[in-house]
A and B are shown apart, each in its own frame.
Chain A
C-alpha cells in the first residue's frame, strides 16, 4: 500500500478534513445568528461547543488506532451501563429521558454509542477474517440492537436510528453477504407492523403526516409545512441573511436545531443549499478516502462507518426538512445548535484523523 498523501503531519491533523469542518462550523455560527434572533449569547455558547469539539478532535487525533481498537470494548461497555443508568436516574426533558446530570453539564450517554457501536462492531468482526460468518454477524447485531433498544426506550428515535445505522454500516462494510441482507430486509418488512405499534403516538402521527402534511396543518403537519414553505419561498437566491420571514418571524419550529436547514434554504436559496450539501459531500468524501486508504481493517471499518453515518445524518435531516422523510429529530450535523452531538461528531472526526495520520504499514 502506498500512501499518496505526503506525510507532513501537523499534530496528526488532516488539513482538508479540518478545513471542511471549520467551514461547516463557521456556517453554523452564521446561520444560528440568524435563526436565533441575533442572540449573541446563544452564538457564544455554540462557539464554546465548537472549541470544545475541536479540542476533543485534537485529543483523539493523537490516539493511535490500535489504542482505540483496544478501548473499543470498554467504551461500549461503559456506554451500555450509562444508558441503563439514564433510564433509572436520568433527567426528563421534552417527554423523554435522555440526560445524565454531571453537575457541570448534562450529558447524553446515547451519544457515546454513536462511536461505541461502530468501534465495537469493527473490533468484533476484525477478530476473525472477513467476511464475517453468520455467528459473528448475529453477535454484531446484538451489539447494535442492545444499545438501540435502550435508546428507543428513552425514547429518542433519532439517535436510535443513527446508532443502528452506524453499526449496520460497519457490518455492511465488513462484507455482510448480500443474501443475509435480503433476508434481513424481508424480516424487516415482516416486522414493520409490529414496530409501528411500538412507536409513540407523536412518532406515528409524524410518519402519517409525512405523506400528507396538509391533512393536519396546525398539528402534526405544522413542522413539515412551515419548513417546506421556508425552503420553497427561498427560491434560487434566497431571501438573504437575516431576511427569511419564515425564520425571523418564528414560523419554523426548532429553527436552531432540527430545522436549521430550512433557515439556510430560505435565506440562501437553492445556491446556498447546494453549496452547503457540497461541503458535506466533501467532508464525507474525505472520510471515505481515509477509509479507503486506511492502514488496517479495524481502522478501515471504523472510518468508513463514521464517514457514511455522517452522510446519513445529512440525508435524513435535509430529507426531513424538505418533506421527503418523516420528522425523526435528527439534527443537521455540525450546523444545528446543540452540544453533545457536536462533541461526538468532532470525536469521530478526531478518530478519522488519527487513522489517517498514524500510518505505519502494520497489518495485525
Chain B
C-alpha cells in the first residue's frame, strides 16, 4: 500500500463524505418540507378536509312519497296507486347490455319505446343507479322472468306504485292524469321536491292539486363507497304521503249524465247552487287516461288528436258555444232591472225589423206569437220580444248585465285553462275587430246569437246564480282535502264570488215563475219534458245556430250535414222552491233544445232528486223523428 494510493484513498473518502453530508443536509430540508406539508394538511386544514371526507361518503337518497288518492263525493276511488311490476337494470352490474336486452326480450316484450326510453336514461343517469327498462309487466311476463331471474345479474323485478284510474275514461275531463315529468316540466318545478318521483299531474285535478297530491319527499342518509354503492343507512326522514282529494263529483250522476248524452258530442254540467259543488262535469266523448301515465304511443295519440269528435277537448270547460235562447231568462231579468214593466207587450208578427231597414229578423214561430208580455215571451221563447228588448236596452247595457252574471269572465273553477268566453260590446268590437258596432248585432244578441260565447260550465254557473236568486257562488270540483299523516281534514266552504247578490227578489220570482212554466206550463216550449216530474223545476231551452240561414230560406234539418245542424241547449234547476241542482246541457248538432238537451237534463235531475231514472228509450233516428208542428222549438 503505497503512499500515493493511500493519499488518493483518503482524498476520495473525504470527497464522498463531504458529498454525503451535503446530501444529508438537503435530505433534512426535504423532510422538514414534508412534515410542514403534513402539518398544514392535518392540523391547519384539518376541518376543511374532514368535511370533504364526510361529504364524500354520505349521500342523500330520496324516497318518493306516495301520491294522494282522488275520491268522488261518495268515496268512490277515481285515482289510485297500484303496484306494478317493473324490470330495472343496474348498468354497472351488467356486462354487455345489448346481449342482455336481447335475452330479456325473449322473455318479456320490449317495445321500441321501452328501448328508446331506456337508452335515454342510460345516458343521463349514473351507472350504479337502477333504471327502469319496462314498467307494467303482465302476470305472464312476471312469471316467465321470475323463473329465469338467476340468469340475469344486475336486472331486477320490482314492485312499484303507479297511478291508475279505475274508472278509465269516465272522468278523464275532471280528474285528468299524471304523466312522466317532461323537459318542459323540469323548467318550472322545484326539482328538489320531485327527487325520486317520475310523475307529475298533467291535466285536470291531477294538475291543479299537484302540490297537495304530490306529498313531501323523504330522504335516507346513506354511506356510500367511491363507486356510489350503499354501504349502510345512517338516518332516515320518512316521506309524507300526498293529501287525498275528495271531489264533489257524484260518479253515478256523472254516469247517468254521460249515458243520457249518448252518442252526442257535448257537455253536461250539474252544480249545487247553494255550495257551488260541481256534481257532474261531463264532456263527451271521453278517452282512457291510463295510457298517458307512462306516455301514450304516438300512433294512439294521433288517432285521438285527429278524431273528428275531438275527444281530447274538454267541452264542459273549454267548449265555447252560442247560448241561444237559454240566455233569455237573464235578459228578462235585465228588462225588469231596467224598469220595464212585466206587462209591457210586444207584438210578434213572426219577424222583427229595425227602423229604416228591410232586413227581417225572424221569430222561430213563422206565423208569429201575436201580443207577448214578458211571461209569455219567456214561456214561448218569442224571439221578436227579445229582439225588441235588446234593441231598446242597447248593447252596452246587455254587456254590463251579462258580465255582472259572470259571462265573459272565468268562473274560477278549480281547473287549469278555463276560457273566459265572450260577451261582446262596442269597445270589444272596436278593439278586436276594428269595426263599429251595428244595431243589428244588438238585435241578435237578444236571442243569444251573434258574438256571444259561453262555456257549458258558465251556463251551469249562471243557472245556479238564477236559482240562488242572484247569489254567485264559485263552482268547485274539490270538496275535501285530507292529509292523513297530518291528521288534517279540510272541508272547503262555499265561496261567494261577489259580496252582494244582484237584483230584486221579486224580479227573480217573476222570471223563475216563467221559467218554471217553460216546462210545466200549457204552452211551455219544453212542456213535454216536464211531464210526470215528481218535483217542479225551472228551465229554458236553447237552439244555437251553427250556420247562418239566408234571408227567406228555411232551416231544414234533413238537408243539412250533421255537423252544421243546430246545437241543442237546455238549462234547468230544481226544485224551484229550494234549488238543489242546476244543470246545463249542450248536445252538439242535437237540433232543438227541447227535443235533445232537455230530456238529458231531466234525467240528470231525476236521478239526483229521486234516485231513479227511466230507462233510456232506444234513440229514434234523429233524421226521421216526427216534428209534430215543432211545438217545442226554441
Binding between chains A and B: yes
Contact of A288 among B24, B34, B56 (CB under 8 A): B24
Cβ–Cβ contact B34 & A229, under 8 A = no
For window 130-145 of chain A, which residues contact chain B by CB distance below 8 Å? 130-131
Contact of A322 among B5, B8, B41 (CB under 8 A): B41
Contact of A174 among B15, B23, B49 (CB under 8 A): B15
For window 306-341 of chain A, which residues contact chain B by CB distance below 8 Å? 308, 311, 315, 318-319, 322-324
Closest CB in chain A relative to B445 CB, distance in Å: 70
Q: How far is the CA of A235 from the CA of B48 in the complex (A)?
A: 11
* B36-75 Cβ-contact flags toward A at 8 Å (1 or 0): 0111011101101110111011000000000000000000
Interface-located stretch among A51-59, A63-71, A189-197, A266-274: A266-274
Within 8 Å CB of B82, what residues of A?
Answer: none
Knowing A129-B8, A229-B49, A231-B49 are in contact, say whether A301-B226 is a contact too (CB < 8 A).
no
Knowing A130-B15, A245-B56, A291-B16 are in contact, say whether A232-B48 is a contact too (CB < 8 A).
yes
Closest CB in chain A relative to B190 CB, distance in Å: 27
Q: How far is the CA of A323 from the CA of B38 in the complex (A)?
A: 10
Cβ–Cβ contact B34 & A235, under 8 A = no
Q: How far is the CA of A296 from the CA of B12 in the complex (A)?
A: 9
Knowing A173-B16, A274-B35, A284-B27 are in contact, say whether A265-B225 is a contact too (CB < 8 A).
no
Interface-located stretch among A13-21, A25-33, A91-99, A246-254: A246-254
Contact of B9 among A245, A246, A274, A297 (CB under 8 A): A297
Within 8 Å CB of A265, what residues of B?
Answer: 38, 41-42
Contact of A251 among B19, B27, B48, B56 (CB under 8 A): B56
Contact of B231 among A129, A249, A270 (CB under 8 A): A249
Q: How far is the CA of A251 from the CA of B13 in the complex (A)?
A: 49
Cβ–Cβ contact A270 & B43, under 8 A = yes
Q: What is the chain A residue whose CB lies nearest that of B56?
A: A251
Within 8 Å CB of A42, what residues of B?
Answer: none
Q: How far is the CA of A364 from the CA of B9 in the complex (A)?
A: 9
* A287-304 Cβ-contact flags toward B at 8 Å (1 or 0): 010011000110011001
Within 8 Å CB of A226, what residues of B?
Answer: 56, 226
Cβ–Cβ contact B34 & A319, under 8 A = yes
Within 8 Å CB of B35, what residues of A?
Answer: 274, 277
B30 adjacent to chain A (CB < 8 Å): yes
Cβ–Cβ contact A304 & B23, under 8 A = yes
Within 8 Å CB of A277, what residues of B?
Answer: 31, 34-35
Cβ–Cβ contact A232 & B46, under 8 A = yes
Within 8 Å CB of A270, what residues of B?
Answer: 38-39, 42-43
A363 adjacent to chain B (CB < 8 Å): yes
Knowing A173-B23, A308-B23 are in contact, say whether A235-B17 is a contact too (CB < 8 A).
no
Knowing A131-B15, A245-B53, A274-B35 are in contact, say whether A231-B41 is a contact too (CB < 8 A).
yes
Within 8 Å CB of A175, what residues of B?
Answer: 12, 15-16, 19
B420 adjacent to chain A (CB < 8 Å): no
Within 8 Å CB of B360, what residues of A?
Answer: none
Within 8 Å CB of B12, what residues of A?
Answer: 129-130, 175, 297, 300
Cβ–Cβ contact A292 & B20, under 8 A = yes
Cβ–Cβ contact A233 & B13, under 8 A = no
Contact of B49 among A233, A250, A296, A315 (CB under 8 A): A233
Cβ–Cβ contact A231 & B224, under 8 A = no
Is chain A's interface secondary structure helix, strand, loop, or mixed overall?
helix
Q: What is the chain B residue whose CB lies nearest that of A291?
A: B20
B486 adjacent to chain A (CB < 8 Å): no
Knowing A169-B23, A245-B57, A251-B56 are in contact, say whether A236-B43 is a contact too (CB < 8 A).
yes
Contact of A250 among B1, B48, B53, B225 (CB under 8 A): B225
Knowing A169-B23, A265-B38, A315-B34 are in contact, say whether A297-B53 is a contact too (CB < 8 A).
no
Q: How far is the CA of A323 from the CA of B41 in the complex (A)?
A: 10
Closest CB in chain B relative to A119 CB, distance in Å: 15
Q: How far is the CA of A281 from the CA of B27 in the complex (A)?
A: 9
Within 8 Å CB of A300, what residues of B?
Answer: 12-13, 16
A352 adjacent to chain B (CB < 8 Å): no
* B223-240 Cβ-contact flags toward A at 8 Å (1 or 0): 111110001000000000
Cβ–Cβ contact B50 & A235, under 8 A = yes
Q: How far is the CA of A232 from the CA of B43 in the complex (A)?
A: 8
Cβ–Cβ contact B43 & A235, under 8 A = yes
Q: How far is the CA of A269 from the CA of B42 in the complex (A)?
A: 7
Closest CB in chain A relative to B458 CB, distance in Å: 58
Q: What is the chain A residue whose CB lies nearest that of B23?
A: A308
Cβ–Cβ contact B50 & A173, under 8 A = no
Within 8 Å CB of B41, what residues of A?
Answer: 228, 231-232, 265, 322-323
For window 508-558 of chain B, which residues contact chain A by CB distance below 8 Å? none
For window 227-264 of chain A, which residues contact chain B by CB distance below 8 Å? 228-236, 245-246, 249-251
Q: What is the chain B residue whose CB lies nearest that of A273?
A: B38
B303 adjacent to chain A (CB < 8 Å): no
A107 adjacent to chain B (CB < 8 Å): no
Q: How far is the CA of A245 from the CA of B53 in the complex (A)?
A: 7
Closest CB in chain B relative to A271 CB, distance in Å: 9
Closest CB in chain B relative to A255 CB, distance in Å: 10
Give me 19 other A-B pairs in contact (C-beta within 8 A), A288-B24, A297-B13 excluded. A130-B8, A130-B16, A228-B49, A232-B42, A232-B49, A232-B52, A245-B57, A251-B56, A251-B226, A273-B42, A274-B35, A288-B20, A291-B16, A297-B9, A297-B12, A300-B13, A304-B20, A318-B34, A363-B9
15 residue pairs from A and B, CB less than 8 Å apart: A174-B16, A229-B52, A232-B41, A235-B43, A236-B46, A270-B39, A273-B38, A281-B27, A288-B20, A288-B24, A297-B13, A297-B16, A304-B20, A308-B27, A363-B5
- Closest 9 interchain pairs by CB? A232-B49, A233-B53, A175-B15, A249-B225, A232-B41, A250-B226, A270-B42, A130-B12, A251-B226
Residues of chain B at the chain A interface (Cβ within 8 Å): 1, 5-6, 8-9, 11-13, 15-17, 19-20, 23-24, 27, 30-31, 33-35, 37-39, 41-43, 45-46, 48-50, 52-54, 56-57, 223-227, 231
